[in-house]
Amino acid sequence: MEERECAIAAMAGWIAAEREAARPVNPELANHLTRDLELGAGILVRMAIDRQATRLDLAKLAGELQMLRGLNNSSSAKPSAIDYQG
């Protein structure tokens, strides 16, 4: 992810430098690169959202597992001797 971020920053810098240097950038290439950058950013956002949703799901499952283990281990106190009333 860090390498991709560096590559995106380098590409954006190159496009900006070409524009500032008054050398024409091929519009088709610039559009293609811009579209790829936007798609990449969208993918990163979706991955971050999915990662957070997964963390929340795992936390919920961990809580439910803890509750199930607690219920499984809880045993009612059994009398050590049999009485005649119950």
What confidence tens digit (pLDDT) does each residue in 4-60 have? 778 778 888 887 777 777 666 677 877 888 888 888 888 888 888 999 999 999 999
> Mean pLDDT throughout 66-84?
76
- Candidates 33, 31, 39, 28; CA nearest to 10 is 33
Distances (CA, A) of 54 to 28, 42, 46, 60, 78: 39, 18, 12, 10, 42
Give yes or no for residue 62 having a pLDDT over 70: yes
Q: Which residue has the tokens 């919920």?
A: 60
Q: Which run of H or of E encompasses 6?
A: helix 2-20
What are the residue ranges spanned by the domains of the chain? 1-51
- With contact defined as beta carbons under 8 Å apart, do 4 and 40 qualify? yes
